[in-house]
Amino acid sequence: MASPLIKIAGTPLTYKDLRAAHRGPVRVEMAKSERDRVARGAQTVARILEKGEPIYGVNTGFGKLAQTRIADEDLTDLQLNLLRSHAAGTGALLPAAIVRLVLLLKIKSLSRGHSGIRAGTLDALVALVNADLLPAIPRQGSVGASGDLAPLAHMSLVLLGEGRVLDGAATITGEAALEKAGIAPLVPAPKEGLALLNGTQVSTAIALDGLFDAQRNLSAALLAGAMSVDAILGSDTPFDPRIQKLRGHRGQIDTAAIIKGLLKGSSIRASHVDCERVQDPYSFRCQPQVMGACLDVLRDGAAKLLIESNAVTDNPLVFNRDLEVLSGGNFHAQPVAFVADSMALAIAEIGSLSERRTAAMIDSQISELPPFLTSDPGRNSGFMLAQVTSAALASENKALAHPRSTDSLPTSANQEDHVSMATNAALRLADMNRNTRAIVAIELLAAAQGIDFRAPLETSPKMAKAHRSIRARVAHWERDRCFGDDLEKIIALIEDGAFDAVGARLFG
């Protein structure tokens, strides 16, 4: 099947484009209008240089060395030295999905014609994407101001025929990658090195990866929460739209509608409509208020990251009409840092609420289910340690949710005296999402077990389908066995998108 086509033609990248690049190989097609705009930017830089005017990072040094003037004959060396010296990252490599996004975002930013690079340089990046040859980028080394300098320098080294490249499961040299893609090694023109490694594309791509995972986990958690309501003989009254409308938050209204829809047609619910229980615990009853707030955070983050994905964030910026090159601070990734920190809170809360429902289900006084969800308690421990694992992961997420954007360490001899830490803020989202995914998987197993105990009463048709999907991989817990094996199967089920449809309409 052909890879999805993404056209760079003067219109913004869409959420669909970003998801496609994250999912797998894509083809990028650059419109002539964009190439012409890029070429005009390079011409503007050349014309200003002819006048002998200083341009930061083009004929001056960088950072604290900005007052140092560079001779014309050394301008190429200046850009080469910049790319090589700034490739100072360390740690494990970023996954292919993130690197593909980085390339796409950098292409989009450069295509707007304000970066002063040549069209041929942009073509080389496009060729890498279209061949799915992805630069090997270490995950650590960016403080999210002056752009993601170190990781983008590693990306840019490949254009010189240096560095390393991910080619499917293999890692090859930058030189071999250029030969495979039919790209000549880059000899950087003035400003090209700076334009390539300056920008927020890495922190934004990592944050997008965290967003996509969080959306998937939220969908699975809504399903798990609804199944748990049925498992404990809970009420669907808290999801009545009239309650949500009086408060007015969109996320609350939407999540309540999904949970109520999932419960519709449950004979378990119908069996206790007139029971004496007045209210369920908050982790069941307040799902719209908590999950809705999480949804609002993720939606807001998605909107801001889409803006950043289409932004020009290098420095200085070229304005062709005015024949000016202006130094500013678009490289400062504070918006991305705030988004990542906010999403961290939502990811932690999705897991926190899920863990509480699992704890309630194993407590027979709350759930009216067998203790620890086993029909032979004492001889069997059932879900006892599964809930302990869930609690451990939820606690870990609390620590990881501590904001990164409030941290700042000056760099470049105090020239860059306030930084965003956006990359660090985004990087920890993967671990948090992994923890939350496991917490939700534990709840799905517990809820499925609880629903089993309600037989011959049946859950709703929608949740019965999910229940069958779980039982196709993990059998009912008759007696103790290795829970970890079961858990990994349901984690994989979530990762594969088995429950994405639950929240599909929430994210567009």
Question: Looking at the annotation, which residues are catalytic?
Answer: 56
Give the DSSP letter of residue 148: S
* Predicted confidence (pLDDT) per residue in 323-336, tens digit: 999 999 999 999 99
CA angle 223, 228, 234 (to 5 degrees): 120
Local confidence band at 51 (pLDDT 50, 70, 90 cut-offs) = confident
Mean pLDDT calculated for residue range 178-205: 96
Mean pLDDT calculated for residue range 438-465: 98
Q: Which of 14-23, 222-231, 268-277 has the lowest mean pLDDT?
A: 268-277
The H or E element containing residue 318 is strand 317-319
Local confidence band at 54 (pLDDT 50, 70, 90 cut-offs) = confident
Mean pLDDT calculated for residue range 483-498: 98
Mean pLDDT across the chain, nearest whole number? 95
Integer Cα distance of 127 and 138 in angstroms: 22
The H or E element containing residue 129 is helix 119-130
HEC string of 357-412?
Answer: HHHHHHCHHHHCCCHHHCCCECCECCCHHHHHHHHHHHHHHHHHCCCCCCCCCCEC
* Predicted confidence (pLDDT) per residue in 256-291, tens digit: 999 999 999 999 999 998 777 768 999 999 999 999
- Look at residue 59 in the predicted model and tell me its pLDDT: 87
Q: What percent of the chain has pLDDT over 70?
A: 100
**Could you give phi then psi for residue 321, rounded to 5 degrees?**
-65, -35
pTM of model > 0.95: yes
Residue 134: pLDDT over 80: yes
What would the two tokens of residue 347 be? 């990811």
Closest to 304 in 3D by CA, of 255, 332, 340: 340
* Predicted confidence (pLDDT) per residue in 337-361, tens digit: 999 999 999 999 999 999 999 999 9
- Look at residue 321 in the predicted model and tell me its pLDDT: 92
CB 270 within 8 A of CB 162: no
Integer Cα distance of 210 and 110 in angstroms: 24
Residue 32: pLDDT over 90: yes
Integer Cα distance of 232 and 364 in angstroms: 9
| Amino acid at position 432, single letter | M
What would the two tokens of residue 315 be? 């420095």
Give the DSSP letter of residue 158: G
Q: 300 to each of 293, 371, 430, 461, 508, how far by Cα in Å?
A: 11, 41, 19, 32, 13
- Look at residue 58 in the predicted model and tell me its pLDDT: 86
Q: Is the dihedral of CA 27, 33, 34, 39 positive or negative?
A: positive
Integer Cα distance of 163 and 161 in angstroms: 7
Integer Cα distance of 199 and 420 in angstroms: 13
* Predicted confidence (pLDDT) per residue in 403-416, tens digit: 999 988 888 777 77
Burial class (CB in 10 A: 0-12, 13-18, 19+), 478: exposed
- Look at residue 366 in the predicted model and tell me its pLDDT: 95
Mean pLDDT calculated for residue range 463-488: 97
Could you tell me which residues are beta bridge partners of residue 457?
A: none
CA 371 to chain centre: 38
Mean pLDDT calculated for residue range 103-130: 98
3-state helix, strand, coil in the chain (%, to 5): 60, 5, 35
Placement of tokens 């960088």 in the chain: 62
- Look at residue 151 in the predicted model and tell me its pLDDT: 98
- Look at residue 264 in the predicted model and tell me its pLDDT: 97
- Look at residue 508 in the predicted model and tell me its pLDDT: 73
- Look at residue 429 in the predicted model and tell me its pLDDT: 98
Could you tell me which residues are beta bridge partners of residue 170?
A: 167
